[in-house]
Chain A
Amino acid sequence: MKNLTESKNLKIIAGIILSLIIMILAFSFGVFVGYHRARFSYSWKENYDRNFGSMMPFGPITGDGPFGFIRGKFINAHGVVGKVESINGNALAIKDKDNNDKIIIASSTTVISDASGTLQLQDIKVNNQIIAIGTPNNQGQIEARLIRVNSN
Chain B
Amino acid sequence: MEEKDIAEIKPIRPPKQLFNDIKGRIKAEKKAIFRKRVAVFGALASFSIGGFSFIFYLFTQSIFQSEFGYFLRLLVNDPADAFANWRDFSLSLVESFPLEQALISLVFLFVIVESFIFLKNSRRLYSPEFNESRV
Contacts and interface: CB of A to CB of B under 8 A. Distances in A.
SS of A interface (majority): strand
Nearest to A40: B95
B66 interface: yes
Interface centre among B84, B92, B101, by most A CB within 10 Å? B92
B33 to A, nearest CB: 31
Interface of B: 66-67, 70-71, 73-74, 77-78, 81-82, 84-85, 88-89, 91-92, 94-96, 99-101, 103-104
A133 B92 contact: yes
A111 interface: yes
B67 A96 contact: yes
Given A79-B95, A80-B67, 8 more contacts: A36-B91, A77-B95, A79-B91, A81-B71, A96-B67, A113-B77, A115-B77, A134-B88
A133 B67 contact: no
A121 interface: no
A43 to B, nearest CB: 15
Interface of A: 33, 36-37, 67, 70-71, 76-81, 96-97, 111, 113, 115, 131, 133-135, 145-146, 148
Contacts of A80: 67
A111 B78 contact: yes
B67 A76 contact: yes
A78 B100 contact: no
A146 B81 CA distance: 7
A113 B78 contact: yes
A67 B104 CA distance: 10
Contacts of A135: 88
Sort A-B residue pairs by CB-CB distance and give the 6 closest, nearest first.
Answer: A79-B92, A67-B100, A78-B91, A78-B92, A76-B95, A145-B85
B53 to A, nearest CB: 17
B94 A133 contact: no
